[in-house]
């Protein structure tokens, strides 16, 4: 299996398909590059070199005790791009991965990154505060941490119901998606999964969005129960200089079904512009 080794000695797994202009996919919590398997094929078939990595502590990457923070995640992504000698990069990030690619493009990607696309992304900031009343209360994230710590196997199964919106669309429920969400979640080290809750909920990406100097497609489902659109995409679009907001009616946080088909088509069209 292909790995790169970061400057601090951490092994980061990645997978790739195809040849051509590079597209890097960054996954959400608590998943892995496996979440992008369909996109890897679709984008490779469309003539791109499609690459997805497992964030440190997740999937097949090394389970580290330290370094589970956004700046280190971004440094790992930078190491991947540098070691694979990638240029003219197109970035795609979902949820936590959306924050990762935005910060990388804004702080480490000058001269390498051409466009960014995010879906259900966490920027600007998820946590509720006086300055961000639309955000999610701290107690919700404390509950996620408790679920991960005490019975993560069952917690991931339960979380999948709202992640994919099956509680709102029970007739479309897929046991396979639930099982795969749990499988990928269990691949993540407990320590990394626990620490990452703070990362995706409390990291402030406001300055990153303001500094972004490449075009960005901000995609979001209007029935996203994990990262509500009012605190995320609707705010993020006001902070970027070259942004396009695309809202998907009835779409959940998880990328699947008709939403996945439409999103993939829209990202391919955006990258081809």
Catalytic residues: 95, 224, 253
Q: Mind spelling out the 3-state secondary structure of the chain?
A: CCEEECCCCCEEEEEEECCCEEEEEECCCCCCHHHHHHHHHHHHHCCEEEEEECCCCCCCCCCCCCCCCHHHHHHHHHHHHHHCCCCCEEEEEECHHHHHHHHHHHHCCCCCEEEEEEECCCCCCCECECCECCCECHHHHHHHHHHHHHHHHHHHHHHHHHHCCCCCCHHHCCHHHHHHHHHHHHHCCHHHHHHHHHHHHHCCCHHHHHHCCCCEEEEEECCCCCCCHHHCHHHHCCCCCCEEEEEECCCCCCCCHHHHHHHHHHHHHHHHC
């Amino acid at each position: 299996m292909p790995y790169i080794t970061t400057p601090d000695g951490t092994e980061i797994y990645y997978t790739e398909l195809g040849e051509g202009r590079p597209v890097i996919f960054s996954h959400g919590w608590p998943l892995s590059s496996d979440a992008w398997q369909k996109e890897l094929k679709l984008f490779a078939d469309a003539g791109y070199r499609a690459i997805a990595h497992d964030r440190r502590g997740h999937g097949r990457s090394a389970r580290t005790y330290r370094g589970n923070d956004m700046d280190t995640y971004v440094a790992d992504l930078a190491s991947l791009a540098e070691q694979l000698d990638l240029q003219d990069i197109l970035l795609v990030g979902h949820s936590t991965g959306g924050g990762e690619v935005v910060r990388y493009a804004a702080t480490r990607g000058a001269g390498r990154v051409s466009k960014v696309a995010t879906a259900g992304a966490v920027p600007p900031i998820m946590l509720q505060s006086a300055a961000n009343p639309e955000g999610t209360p701290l107690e919700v994230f404390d509950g996620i941490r408790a679920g991960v710590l005490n019975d993560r196997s069952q917690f991931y199964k339960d979380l999948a119901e709202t992640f994919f919106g099956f509680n709102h669309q029970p007739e479309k429920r897929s046991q396979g998606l639930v099982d795969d969400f749990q499988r990928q979640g269990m691949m993540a080290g407990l320590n990394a999964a626990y620490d990452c809750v703070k990362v995706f909920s409390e990291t402030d990406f406001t300055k990153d969005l303001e500094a972004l100097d490449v075009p960005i497609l901000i995609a979001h489902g209007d029935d996203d129960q994990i990262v509500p659109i009012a605190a995320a995409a609707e705010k993020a679009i006001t902070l970027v200089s070259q942004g396009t907001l695309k809202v998907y009616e009835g779409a959940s946080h998880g990328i699947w079904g008709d939403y996945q088909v439409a999103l993939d088509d829209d990202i391919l069209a955006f990258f081809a512009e």
